[in-house]
Amino acid sequence: MSNAIKELVEGLSQPQKMISPKYFYDEIGSQLFEEITELPEYYLTDAELDIMRTHVDEMATLIGKQASLIEYGSGSSLKTRVLLGHLDELAAYVPVDISADHLYASAQKIRNEFPALAVHPVVADFTRAFALPTPATMPVKNVVYFPGSTLGNFEYAEAMDLMRVMYGEAGDGGALLIGLDLQKDPDIIHRAYNDSKGVTAKFNLNMLRHLNTNYGANFDVDAFEHRAEYDEEMGRVVLELVSQKEQTVVVGDTEFEMADGEAILTEYSHKYTLEGFARMAHDAGLEVEKVWTDPEQLFSVQYCTRA
Ligand code: SAH
Ligand code: AVI
């Protein structure tokens, strides 16, 4: 049994069935995520871009010359372009993503836009150990860039582990630059995950199509519905796929019974307070050196170093 099938079977065998959000991202899932970022309700991307554009000079000064920029979950490297346009003599740009075709296409676009830049895309699942390329120019330091609030898709313990791994990769003198969504009016958050065009619903449901096509599962995709609720107490959006009928699903050689109305948890999207994240970073052995937010405090970008 492959690792992926093992992981899927394990998640679907829990009393609360779950599938990791990394299975959203095949080529179609990556395209749907791009569509989400263009929705008026999905405030995250505009707010983060606004922060990047307003404070990029300060970020570039902190990052310094001849750094290597390693980006986790780079997608289309949208916000990275703002940084790349301002960083001096970057030793390398290393975008890391699980969605291979999308990553290679984005890396090629970056090469076309920044012909002097050494771009080394890495297809990897960043929740598992993976090797980073050695750039031709020895970097002065490594900066791990993790935008988009993708850290928020991990529960506390996993997010802590990931921060420790990222700091390990940044090494001595290195830093982390992390984009994080903030707690706010629950209605604004609810609308961002229940958009009027139904793109988020398509994105959520696409996970099952991806598993049917590439992992030999047999979900009846049309018999599931998207659900996204903001749990204010936990400070997180809970994304689920709810079965609209009783069905038996096969993944690998394992059968799963789904009741009518039973949900599969597909994603958490945590929303932070500035104090809460500072504590989390501290517990992971990091110090938040600088925080930038947009004027409405919708989103934050945080520069962290070893405490
Ligand atoms: N950074 C971009 C994209 C965010 S979407 C932005 O801010 O707009 C999340 C990205 O992380 C997707 O491109 C997805 O393919 C990637 N991703 C999610 N889980 C991953 C994992 N476990 N390993 C590697 N990449 C992952
Ligand atoms: C990638 N990640 C930070 C997005 C989020 O907002 O949690 C994924 C997403 N899920 C639904 N819409 C967007």
pLDDT in tens, 60-77: 999 999 999 999 999 999
Strand 175-181 to strand 247-251: parallel, antiparallel, or no bridges (unpaired)?
unpaired
Report the SS3 class of residue 224: strand
pLDDT value, residue 233: 98
Which atom belonging to ligand 1 lies closest to the Cα atom of 48? 7
223 by Cβ neighbours in 10 Å (0-12 / 13-18 / 19+) ranks as middle
Is 78 near ligand 1, meaning CB less than 6 Å away?
A: yes
Give residue for tokens 């050689």: 253
150 lines ligand 1 (CB under 6 A): yes
Q: Which residues of the chain have pLDDT under 50?
A: none
Give the pLDDT of residue 149.
98
To which H or E segment does residue 62 belong? helix 43-63
| Ligand 2 atom 5, closest CA | 269
Owner of token pair 């899932």: 29
Per-residue pLDDT, 136:
87
Is the CB of 193 within 6 Å of ligand 2? yes
The predicted pLDDT at position 88 comes to: 79
Q: What is the pLDDT of residue 77?
A: 97
Q: Evaluate: CB of 30 within 6 angstroms of ligand 2.
A: no
Ligand 1 site, residue 148, Cβ cutoff 6 A: yes
3-class DSSP assignment, residue 8? helix
User: How many angstroms does the Cα of residue 137 sit away from the middle of ligand 2?
Assistant: 35
Q: Determine the pLDDT at residue 135.
A: 82
Is 266's C-beta closer than 6 angstroms to any atom of ligand 2? no
Is the separation of the CB atoms in 23 and 210 below 8 Å?
Answer: yes
**Per-residue confidence (pLDDT) for residue 173, from 0 to 100:** 94
pTM, entire model: 0.98
